[in-house]
Amino acid sequence: METPEQREGAFSNFRISPVTINKLKARGVSYLFDIQVKTFDSVYDGEDVIAQARTGTGKTFSFAIPLVEKLQRDSAGPARGRAPKVLVLTPTRELAIQVAKDFKDIIKKLSIVCFYGGTSYMPQIDAIRNGIDILVGTPGRIKDHLQNNKLDLSKLKHVVLDEVDQML
């Protein structure tokens, strides 16, 4: 029997493509969780959202799913050197890697890259040259690329500050 949470979080209640639904199901996700239900439309529509929830409640997908759906719908296709449309800042490299993985698990044609310190700049500069749709990274490394005039953020449509309390 379906629970009220499953009914409220049914994929059919949201603007989610069949491709993304299949990718979510492959990860064992069969409906949106409470935080995702509450934020989906606002994130998709480009509204400012401040959300807080316990660890393990699906916060990353609360912004990743609607942003991926919006970008995939609006995408003009891969163009070399395109500037990112989404920037996700995280306080640590470990969180940046995890957030980037969560995005990668549900995207089909979008480019996602993860920038953090302690690694070579060259692969990151190559990624910038190739074009980026979604950039996940730590503030220090993003700042480095901006100060060196390597990264263009003029086309950003969405900025996510993940675990912002840890960055302030």
Between CA 43 and CA 53 the distance in angstroms is: 16
Domain that holds residue 74: 4-167
Lookup: tokens for 45 = 């529509």
CATH number assigned to the domain comprising residue 124: 3.40.50.300
137 to each of 20, 141, 168, how far by Cα in Å? Answer: 23, 7, 16
pTM of whole model > 0.75?
Answer: yes
Between CA 135 and CA 24 the distance in angstroms is: 21
For the chain, what is the domain count?
1
Question: Residue 101 has what pLDDT?
Answer: 97
Phi/psi for 138 (5° steps) reads -95, 150
Average pLDDT for runs of 10 along the chain of length 168: 92 97 95 97 96 89 97 80 96 97 94 97 96 97 97 97 88
